[in-house]
Amino acid sequence: MIFECNDYRSYLKKLLAERIRRNPAYSLRALASQIGVSASMLSEVLKSHKRLSLARGAEIAQRLELEGDEERYFLALVQLDFAKSALAKEKALKRIQEISPDRREIRDLSVDHYHAVANWIAVSGMAMLESHPEGLACDEIARRLGISRFEVAEALDRWVRLELITVQGDIYRRSDSDHWMMDSQAPNGALRVFHRTMLEKAIQSLETQTNDEKFVGSETIAFDADQLQQVSKVIEDAIRKVRRIAKKSPKKKDVYHLGFQFFRVTKKGVRK
């Protein structure tokens, strides 16, 4: 996990969000207690209002039971943030690159691109901000998605690094209003994760939402696979039409997910 992060704050946020996902009762206070700082201190650090000293960073690494390259990587991230001169920063960057398993540059955002696409929170938050050009507070986004503010911050901070979202204080705003669509003709791990997550949420909606809140329909038919491209065009056109309806909507109070699934039920190659 730590080698995916470009600074120690991102790691701590990711660690906190992951623990909350596993145990909703877990909190910032619990993490603060483990690493030996006050909850207010940790909150200020995560907001970039305060920074860790090298000594405190070493203590936290020990309390988190980081060892070997993970410990050295964490301390190098602390040193980078603490460095004041250009030379000190350059040395810290070099150290980080040497320790990183894939020797990637710290400015490499490929991991952020992956998780920004795969993370339903980031995608939903981005859609929510589309109808709020004035921005939304992290707590408000968390409340509307029914998750913790730490999960929201961990997800949206990736979009900040990708320069698709800006953050000032606790307020997130979209950097631009251009619509984007995730699409790939080739197998893509991030898209698979995203679609799998949204299919799971679709299943949950069957039990948690009324027919007035959702639309679920399906049809199982005999089909010629050679016509799949024609069906793809029909579906793409339907998505565009829904987008146009949404764009004209005067009240965008909620975020909806539109998904089409058109897949083979029979076994490939097993034909009479």
DSSP for the chain, please give it: -GGG-SSHHHHHHHHHHHHHHH-TT--HHHHHHHHTS-HHHHHHHHTTSS---HHHHHHHHHHTT--HHHHHHHHHHHHHHH--SHHHHHHHHHHHHHHSTT---TT--HHHHHHHHH-HHHHHHHHHHHT-TT-EEHHHHHHHHTS-HHHHHHHHHHHHHTTSEEEETTEEEES---------SS--HHHHHHHHHHHHHHHHHHHHS-TTT-----------GGGHHHHHHHHHHHHHHHHHHHHH-S---S-----------SPTT---
226 sits in the region (left: phi over 0; alpha: psi -120 to 50; else beta) called: alpha
Is the overall model pTM greater than 0.85, yes or no? no
Residue 26, pLDDT score: 93
Whole-number Å distance between alpha carbons of 204 and 32: 33
Residue 115, pLDDT score: 66
For 24, the token pair is 């909703």
Query: Domains in the chain, please, with CATH?
Result: 2-104 (1.10.260)
Q: For every one of its 272 residues, what pLDDT tens digit does the chain have, with 9 covering 90 and above?
A: 788 777 899 899 989 988 998 898 999 999 999 999 999 999 999 988 898 998 999 999 999 999 998 999 899 899 888 887 767 777 888 888 788 776 544 443 455 566 667 788 888 988 888 888 899 999 999 999 999 988 998 888 878 877 788 888 889 998 864 444 444 433 467 778 888 888 888 989 989 999 888 988 888 888 888 898 898 889 888 988 888 888 888 888 889 999 888 888 887 766 55
Cβ within 8 Å of residue 7, ≥6 positions away? 77, 80, 81
| Chain centre to alpha carbon of residue 223 | 37
Please say whether the beta carbons of 122 and 156 come within 8 A: yes
Residue type, 261: Q
Neighbours of 178 (CB within 10 A): 7
Sheet holding 165-168, edge to edge: 136-137, 171-174, 165-168
Whole-number Å distance between alpha carbons of 82 and 157: 20
Residue 187, pLDDT score: 40
Please say whether the beta carbons of 2 and 8 come within 8 A: no
pLDDT tens profile 238-259: 988 888 888 888 888 889 999 8
Whole-number Å distance between alpha carbons of 19 and 31: 9
Residue type, 195: H
For 122, the token pair is 């980031």
Residue 80, pLDDT score: 85
Whole-number Å distance between alpha carbons of 86 and 102: 25
Whole-number Å distance between alpha carbons of 269 and 272: 9
Whole-number Å distance between alpha carbons of 191 and 64: 32
